[in-house]
Structure 1
């Protein structure tokens, strides 16, 4: 494992963002959390579990090494960020970063670097001149990172789709960043306490993340009694279509009652999956659609006021 690797500090998930003069806000991007070590001879990128990433995303190292002379007074550097394939300046593609992360062939990696170029989006600086600055306040670390990025010659006010390396800016304006995130379908927002230190391997309440969730209505298709997941679907081109499964957000009482209803009204059984004809509608939150299935769905409530025939693919796209 890379000797410079630190297991990243993680934000705490919340439904609400903290407010006050000692909090700032950043757009959250959907990619691979990544630490980037940079000295005069090499660039080493590692995932949050310590796996090497620089060979899979070579365009980032190539770009940075072309600017090493400007940045060399700061070497060695260790930066924290998100490795992304950007859809727009405020949203990364989960699907495309997953595709790139699975590549092994050098030829396919080369082709993907051109077709779906990646970007290291830096949001924190952990070491300068080989010395840790993790105990410095967040704003101080961000200030030094800002200087490094200026030496590289990248924009610091906004994220660029054309750059293999980006600086993630912060803002004090909560309303503005909320509007931006909703409009651009970003993954969410991370609030960071201005005085916060960076501590490896912890989930901290000094960083708070809130996801930009979508909401939809679906009909129940069954329950898997082995793992407790409920299957849901929508009508797509007048055909009942499976769209995902959920287990989180529903109380134990609601879960047991719903399982019993499915058992009493089952239309069939395939192994541990008990199926039911469309009739019961539920409202779920979810992050996005991935390969026509819900990512991170969570139960919100039953929708007894909705007819199952109205749970359509078209209405789902319209609501979102």
Structure 2
């Protein structure tokens, strides 16, 4: 991707880093507790131009690390300290002064971050596969950096990694400059979750802001409807299958994306193909299911497919008959 020169903000040098430390020592303040995170606003298209940088959107847990000597804390986005779950990651930051770092804990599976694999690791009490992508620096050696520009904070974070030889499972989150839409298309090709675009001159604000944009990639496909769950006037959920050779296997359900009127129309259509038993090759137990002949196909948008082979974050878009 072509780099563009940013006229307003220059990268920090090692000399800047040392000067910041000297200033911090003269104006040293107590490190705060949990800082409410800045959140990105969902958009349909990424911005372009030299006012923005762009990062890969990670599919994991947002974690704010507080490093203060041997005292380590790992706050979730809701302010819960999960240091016991992420002690190995926190241990990667051997720093001689206090710091607050913002980032994402992930598990990389088949070349991309996978939330289902992350949940499985945490459920098993394991940390071996966990990685932490650090993308912001909020506090350093007595100085609050939240009013500092976005790009300056990132350059200082990169310098922190390089100066103190911080190694995996902690990693610095790289960014690209220029046309965010091109990066988004590349992210979609690689089956990543999307990108986050950030204004280079913006401070850190503990709210959802227009200074951070997120653009998500989605997948769309059609799946045979194998059953449904009734609600008083329509359907509460559709059970979906996937043809795999001669087998029709269960691939999950969808329960959003329709209006009350559309829900009633779906129910009316599926009532014409009700079956006394499931047509799945390997039956599954769904006590509330009304099974149907797989003659209707649901068009569905979804984020990805979990390690269990099920749709994640699915949304209904349409229904057609075979």
Matches of 1:8 and 1:287, distance apart in 2: 24
Give the alignment's TM-score, normalised by structure 1: 0.78
Change in 2 beyond 3 A, CA 1:85/1:225: same
Backbone CA RMSD of aligned residues? 2.6
Give a deviation string over 1:94-151, Cα, whole Å, max 9, x none.
Answer: 23311222234xxxx3xx52xx2x2211111111223322232212222221221221
- Find the partner of 1:286 among 295, 302, 312: 302
Pairing of 1:96-115 with structure 2 (within 5 A): 96-104=117-125, 109=126, 112-113=127-128
**Local SS of the residue matching 1:292:** coil
Matches of 1:51 and 1:3, distance apart in 2: 15
5+ unaligned residues in a row in structure 1: which ranges? 155-161, 308-320
Change in 2 beyond 3 A, CA 1:199/1:268: farther
Match of 1:199?
205
Are the equivalent residues in 1 in contact too, given 2:304–2:311 (CA < 8 A)? yes
- Find the partner of 1:139 among 151, 155, 179: 151
- Find the partner of 1:76 among 85, 98, 102: 98
- Find the partner of 2:113 among 92, 101, 106: 92
Structure 1 residue 13 displacement after superposition:
2.4
**Local SS of the residue matching 1:81:** strand
Pairing of 1:250-269 with structure 2 (within 5 A): 250-268=258-276
Matches of 2:220 and 2:241, distance apart in 1: 14
5+ unaligned residues in a row in structure 2: which ranges? 1-30, 278-285
Are the equivalent residues in 1 in contact too, given 2:46–2:184 (CA < 8 A)? no
Change in 2 beyond 3 A, CA 1:27/1:224: same
Change in 2 beyond 3 A, CA 1:211/1:175: closer
Match of 2:192?
186
Matches of 1:213 and 1:134, distance apart in 2: 32
Structure 1 residue 235 displacement after superposition:
1.9
Matches of 2:195 and 2:148, distance apart in 1: 23
Structure 1 residue 179 displacement after superposition:
4.3
Matches of 2:38 and 2:267, distance apart in 1: 39
Are the equivalent residues in 1 in contact too, given 2:45–2:181 (CA < 8 A)? no
- Find the partner of 1:229 among 224, 237, 248: 237
**Local SS of the residue matching 1:64:** coil
Are the equivalent residues in 2 in contact too, given 1:262–1:274 (CA < 8 A)? no
**Local SS of the residue matching 1:221:** strand
Are the equivalent residues in 2 in contact too, given 1:10–1:207 (CA < 8 A)? yes
Give a deviation string over 1:178-231, Cα, whole Å, max 9, x none.
Answer: 34313432121111222333222x222322212222222101123212471222
Are the equivalent residues in 1 in contact too, given 2:109–2:117 (CA < 8 A)? no
Higher fraction of helix: 1
